[in-house]
């Protein structure tokens, strides 16, 4: 057996991510995009690496000039009617994520979920669920992905977040120069 290489691993990651992209439901993605576009404010929430991926999406939405908040930060205001909660949970059962989605729904906010399934407590409360056909973190069978734990799901969350941002940017007519002044300048 050949020695594993970084380029072979990268080929695997790219191939699996492309497969997820090709299997994404375009109609559901458009519904998610519409909710994000119409929302007064956008809140993002995820645990672990999924949460980190959503923080990247929050930053890009901020670059568009959107009012964006990361759930759990001390400066995050209360969500209210007309807002959107963008959440990620591979299993759709992560307690804190499901509870946040229920709270958002109860106050009249929209909920956009990224998950590996549309048959979960999270999907029951979400206005739209984008199903990312990837392994959950507890799936070690190698069937949905050869990568470790939920790696493919977390990568897909980041990629879908960038795709949502890019589509909103393209539709909004702002230039890269329009977005640039919103980058952090305290470094």
pLDDT-derived band of residue 184, with 50, 70 and 90 as boundaries?
confident
Per-residue model confidence (pLDDT) at position 146: 85
Share of the chain above pLDDT 70, in %: 95
- The whole-angstrom separation of Cα 173 and Cα 104 is 30
Instruction: Please give the pLDDT value at position 69.
Output: 98
In-domain check, residue 184: no
Residue 4 lies in a domain: no
CATH of the domain at 147: 3.40.50.10490
Looking at the structure of the chain, the number of domains it has is 1
Tell me which residues are annotated as active site: 154
pTM of the predicted structure, to 2 decimals: 0.93
What mean pLDDT comes out for the span 55-67?
A: 96
CA nearest to 107, candidates 47, 162, 53, 40: 40
Closest CA to 112 of 25, 32, 21: 32
The pair of three-digit structure tokens given for residue 127, joined into one six-digit string: 């206005």
State the distance between the two ends of the chain, measured CA to CA, in whole angstroms: 47
Render pLDDT for 74-102 as a digit per residue (tens, 0 to 9): 999 999 999 999 999 999 999 999 999 99
Structural domain including 101 reads 9-172
């Amino acid at each position: 057996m050949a020695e594993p290489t970084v380029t072979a691993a990268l080929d695997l990651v790219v191939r699996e991510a492309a497969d997820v992209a090709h299997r994404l439901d375009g109609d559901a993605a458009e519904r998610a995009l519409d909710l994000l576009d119409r929302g007064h404010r956008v809140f993002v929430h995820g645990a672990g690496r999924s949460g980190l991926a959503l923080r990247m999406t929050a930053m890009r939405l901020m670059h568009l000039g959107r009012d964006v908040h990361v759930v759990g930060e001390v400066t995050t205001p209360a969500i209210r009617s007309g807002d959107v909660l963008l959440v990620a949970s591979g299993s759709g059962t992560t307690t804190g994520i499901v509870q946040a989605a229920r709270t958002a729904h109860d106050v009249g906010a929209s909920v956009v979920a990224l998950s590996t399934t549309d048959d979960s407590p999270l999907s029951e409360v979400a206005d739209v669920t984008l199903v990312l056909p990837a392994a959950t973190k507890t799936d070690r069978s190698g069937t949905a992905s050869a990568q470790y734990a939920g790696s493919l799901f977390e990568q897909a969350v980041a990629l879908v977040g960038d795709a949502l941002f890019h589509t909103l940017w393209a539709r909004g007519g702002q230039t890269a120069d329009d977005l640039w002044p919103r980058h952090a300048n305290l470094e």
